Amino acid sequence: MTDALVAAKATSKTYTMGRRSLTVLRAMDFSVARGEFVALRGASGAGKSTLLHLLGGLDAPDTGEIWFAGTNLSTLSGNDLARLRNSKIGFVFQAYHLLPELDALENVCLPARIARLPASEAAARARDLLSRVGLKERMEHRPRELSGGERQRVAIARALINQPALILADEPTGNLDSHTGGEIIDLLCSLVAEQKTTLVIATHDAAVAARAPRVVQLVDGQIQP
């Protein structure tokens, strides 16, 4: 725990859907060291996305604790937790989650502006990141004018703009063909290695998981030995 950047300790999570309860995580222990790249594998419903959401403070466990850089997330107020997510954690989702009314540059700038970075500095960072992900000529295009691979490149740039300690990527190639998906993983791995960022990817794709030095298999809400 003391050496980990982020850790789940005896963490359980159950969702209630009408009269039915679904336990997704079962007393799980899991930790990731600073600078580590870990892939979470498992079938749909195994708990991969739920674990990422808990590690990123997007949801709270029913039992157990989530620790980030020595802080128990349950001790933070809603505002403090939001500030931590904004400044220390970058998220990359399968569905991109770009704001359709904003162009690529504005989407990437958004987390930096929320963090109160001056507009000129936020724009300079965003332009640099978009150039590095191959979108120098597409900065003024809105999401509907971009391909799936281009949208994911924008999402990666957005995740990195505040220079987070941790990137959580949930099926980042799930909506892409195999060639484009491979390019996205190459890009993501290169950028996080350059910034010495910790990376956790949830994926069902064996080829994506094979890129990680450590692969963790989830089965029915538990880590498979």
Q: How far is the C-alpha of 37 from the C-alpha of 198, rounded, in Å?
A: 6
Alpha-carbon distance of 31 to 34, in angstroms, equals 10
Q: CB within 8 A of 27, min separation 6: which ones?
A: 10, 11, 12, 63, 64, 222
CA–CA separation, 11 and 59 (whole Å): 12
Which tens digits make up the pLDDT trace of 54-84?
999 999 999 999 999 999 999 999 999 999 9
The reported pLDDT for the residue numbered 74 is 95
pTM for the whole thing?
Answer: 0.93
Q: In the predicted model, what is the mean pLDDT of residues 199-205?
A: 93
Tens-place pLDDT, residues 147-170: 999 999 999 999 999 999 999 999
Torsion angles phi and psi, residue 213, rounded to 5: -65, -25
CATH class of 4-223: alpha beta
Is the pLDDT reported for residue 184 higher than 60?
A: yes
Q: Which residues, in sequence order, are CB contacts of 5 under 8 Å at separation 6+?
A: 32, 33, 34, 36, 68, 69, 165, 166, 198
pLDDT tens for residues 19-54? 888 899 999 999 999 999 999 998 888 899 999 999
Tell whether the model's pLDDT for residue 2 goes beyond 60.
Answer: no
Q: Residues for the chain: how many in total?
A: 225
Q: Would you say residue 204 has pLDDT above 70?
A: yes
Residue 217: its pLDDT value, please? 94
| pLDDT, tens digit (0-9, with 9 covering 90-100), for 122-139 | 999 999 999 999 999 999
| Residue 142 confidence (pLDDT) | 97
On average, the pLDDT of the chain sits at 93
Rounded CA separation 222/225 (Å): 9
Residue spans per domain, the chain: 4-223
* Distance spanning both ends of the chain, measured CA to CA: 19
